Structure 1
Amino acid sequence: MNPKVMAPKRESIAAKLRRQIVAGSIRPGQQLPTRSELEQRFRVSSLTVQLALDRLAEDGFIRADGRRGTFVADAPPHLHRYALVFPSYPNRASDWSRFWTALSSEALNLQEKSLRRVAIYHGVTGSGNSEDYRRLAEDVRLQRLAGVVFAAPPFFLAGTPVLKDRSLSRVAIMDKPDWDSAAVRLDHDSFLSKAFDRFVRQGRRKVALLTVPGLPALFHRQIGELLAARDLETRPYWMQAVNQATPETACNLVHLLMQGVERPDALLIADDNLVEHATAGLVAAGVRVPDELEVVAHCNFPHPTPSILPVRRLGYDAREVMKACVESIDLQRRSGKAAPTVSIQAVFEDEIVTWDRGAASGAGS
């Protein structure tokens, strides 16, 4: 048979069998009809059937078991393979964060004792220019994903098939549901409250804050309210922001911050991209930590940023974030409904429950 004629038939057969598997008509572990039965059903040659089955096997939907026949895979991709999508690349410091590095690492760790698999896509912006965007779009089209986890609000994919496909479960790490995606949010109120409560317990009153630019006005109003509620005080010039693309500038800034006659006795470093250089600035200024200054530093557990000073680490567990995302997708798929927003609370290092990777071993069925 002419290969040009065979290809559309092969793809058509593969698509029909794939739809049956995805719909649950043929379940994981269940045997497919024999090759001769498929030849008769679709009125094609044995070679065309074999090529269609090869395509499904390559995509992870089926497995051959010698003379016993062909079976649906025990962990087919539409139930067990999750996409983790980033709008940038790890080697681009200007718009890549340590949080995304932690998330990538824990996504891969999630697979160790689990039937779940995570495919990572970088530089996905919806322009269609990146190889990973094209790979993601193809995986969506061929139903090779249980769902998609967006590491950032996916506004950059508005109007693309990745957001328009109504059958695809989606979740994004963002404050509230949007762009047809559920939300897993990092609870910033718990982060600030726990940091400020720590300062109160340590007898501190004068608080400085180091963060990154671009935080909403609501965040800054929230800081003022939380400080006032605890009878803590600050100064406008103790509230500083450093671009994460140039974290080394935090060293001189913090050094300068501690040169005034009136100095803070507590410092919250609210972004882990700044911790290493900010603490170096304290060393340069000759500040004794924690005697003269209590420092609480943001952390994406279990991946702390290097610090040459004794700081109290507070932040979010990337393992819990990733777990919440895949569980949101599983819930959407099982119920066919939107999943509720999940809030991840900030924790100090000694509050983290020992992570049992076996607890995440459930399949996304």
Structure 2
Amino acid sequence: MSTLPKRIARQLRQDIVSGRLPPGARLPNRGALCQRYDASLVTVQAAVEDLIKEGFVTVGARMRGSFVAARPPHLHHYKLLFPCDPSVRSEFWRVLRDEAAQMGEESDREFSFFYGLDGHRDIESYRDLVEEVRSERVAGLIFASGALEFRGTPVLDQPGIPRVGIAAEYELPGIPRLHVDYASFFAKALDVLVAQGRRRLAVLFGATPTDDKSEVERQCRAAMAARGLEVNPLWQQFVDVRSPQSARRCVRLLLHGPADDRPDGLILADDNSIPAATRGLRETGLRTPHDLTVVALANFPVGIRAAVPVARIGFDVPAMLNTLATWVDQLRNGGKPPKFQSVPAIGEDEYRRRYNQRPEKR
């Protein structure tokens, strides 16, 4: 499209985004637009067709006039940005994506997804994302993690776009964000184990080789110390989330030996490793919960299928997503959501009571 049609489309788009032309409003007829912009009918038609492709404008019945779409993208299209494909790295991200897709089917919010730069900005999906942001075809951006890879780009710098995210307090500066409170997960998990008389506790964390492991380990050890539990460094192990089968071997090693010399409680602090870790536990021949009590992280409504009985404690992903989308709406309407909000862990029974349903098992 040449410069003049782009300029006309941009000005009409701004009229729509600003509310001067609200959803359902009729656009001026082609003749009026030709006069307003001192342009030919062909030029005006090209601009309107561009807005139709973007979802801002629809054509009336029998081609009688053009109207602002009932659900224009700047009010209904939410973009969820992941560092990578969730199926490759994170069960939490996968559940978040699936819940967004379901919310899109059950509400007037529409979600689409971006799966990271992988160190490159010359990829088509990134160019499409930048164009969506520049043309304000998004109600807002929801970051599933930090956004360092977008520094100095329109994704973070374009004014007028609501942005929210899930990140630690020091990440996403200036962007309202939720933080998954793993300290509360460890506190609840330890309370379950202590209530069953377990004192010799092992913890299996998930990480990648480049992750900072110190904070999550510190939170776990602090929760154990607060309950008078001994911290055995050999019983706190990290497994690579990209190689979950390593969890199977690690659990077998942790549980090898006489009863008095091995853990009697196990916390699986990463749901990516649950299937492999519990298969390894089953292979030891130990009985749960008779010989060993297991507490596993869950991202509700999904509880990853385990090979042995486990107690599930985790986070309410639908509630988190709804909070983030609501914050986007508040920002769009001039509101001020919290700058930072911590999300506490809940038990499976609490989740059932909250939604009057049983979490899905996979």
**AA partner of residue 27 (structure 2):** L
Partner of 1:77: 73
1:314, distance to aligned residue in structure 2 (A): 1.3
Cα shift at 1:179 = 4.2
Task: Note the C-alpha offset of 1:216.
Answer: 4.2
Alignment of 1:352-363 (within 5 A): 352=351, 353-354=354-355
Q: How does 1:81-230 map to 2 (within 5 A)?
A: 81-90=77-86, 93=88, 96-125=89-118, 127-176=120-169, 178-213=172-207, 214-230=211-227
Give the match's secondary structure for 1:185: strand
How far 1:321 sits from its partner (Å)?
A: 2.1
Whole-Å Cα distance in 2 between the matches of residues 124 and 328 of structure 1? 25
User: Which residue of structure 2 lines up, in the alignment, with residue 321 of structure 1?
Assistant: 320
Worse-superposed segment, 99-108 or 210-219? 210-219
Distance 1:26 1:355 in 2: 42
Question: After the TM superposition, which of the residue ranges 229-238 and 18-27 deviates more from structure 2?
Answer: 229-238
What's the offset of the Cα at 1:336? Answer: 5.5
| CA apart distance, 1:339 | 4.0
2:245 and 2:318 map into 1 onto residues whose CA distance is: 28
The AA in structure 1 aligned to 2:220 is I
- Please say if residues 301 and 317 of structure 2, whose CA atoms lie closer than 8 Å, have aligned partners that are also in contact: yes
Any unmatched runs of 5+ in structure 2? 358-362
CA distance in 2, matches of 1:355, 1:135: 40
Q: Which amino acid aligns with 2:238?
A: A
Q: Distance in 1 between matches of 2:173 and 2:107?
A: 29
How far did residue 215 of structure 1 move? 4.4
Following superposition, the deviation at residue 47 of structure 1 comes to: 2.2
Q: How many residues align?
A: 348
How far does residue 355 in structure 1 lie from its aligned partner after superposition? 7.8
What TM-score, normalized to structure 1?
A: 0.90
Counterparts of residues 157-306 of structure 1 (less than 5 Å): 157-176=150-169, 178-213=172-207, 214-261=211-258, 262-306=261-305
Question: 1:125–1:157: 8 Å Cα contact kept in structure 2?
Answer: no
In the superposition, relative to structure 1, how do residues 164 and 125 fare at CA in structure 2: closer, same or farther (>3 Å)? farther
1:239-259: CA deviation from partner (whole Å, max 9, x where unpaired): 011001111011111111111
CA distance in 2, matches of 1:107, 1:124: 21
Aligned equivalents of 1:336, 1:349: Cα separation in 2:
34
The one-character-per-residue Cα deviations of 1:163-213 (angstroms, maximum 9, x if unpaired) are 111321111210125244221111112111111111122221121100023
Asked whether the 8 Å contact 1:172–1:181 carries over to 2, the reply is yes
Give the Cα–Cα distance (whole angstroms) in 1 for the partners of residues 237 and 224 of structure 2: 16
- Partner-residue secondary structure (3-state), 1:36: helix
Aligned residue in 2 for 1:359: none
Query: Is the Cα contact below 8 Å between 1:170 and 1:180 reproduced in 2?
Result: no
1:304-339 deviation line (CA, Å, top 9, x unaligned):
222111111111122122212211211222226464
Matched residues, percent identical?
A: 39
Secondary structure of 2:112 counterpart: strand
Partners of 1:136 and 1:336 in 2: CA distance: 25
Secondary structure at the residue paired with 2:21?
coil
Q: How does 1:51-66 map to 2 (within 5 A)?
A: 51-66=46-61
Write the distance in 2 (CA, Å) between the matches of 1:224 and 1:338: 33
Instruction: Tell me: CA distance 1:147–1:180, structure 2 relative to 1, closer, same or farther (3 Å).
Output: same
SS in structure 2 at match of 1:13: helix
1:28, 1:74 within 8 Å by CA — same for their partners in 2?
A: yes
Aligned to 1:48: 43
Q: Structure 1 residues 180, 166: CA separation in 2 closer, same or farther (over 3 Å shift)?
A: farther
Structure of greater relative contact order (alpha carbons < 8 Å, 6+ residues apart): 1
Deviation at 1:342, TM superposition (A): 2.6
**Does the 8 Å contact 1:301/1:318 carry over to 2?**
yes
Separation (CA, whole Å) in 1 of partners of 2:106 and 2:278: 37
The partner residue of 2:17 within 4, 16, 22 is 22
Question: How far did 1:145 drift?
Answer: 0.6
Structure 2 distance, partners of 1:238, 1:58, is 57
* SS state at 2:164 partner: strand
Quote the RMSD (CA, aligned, Å).
1.9
TM-score (norm 2): 0.91
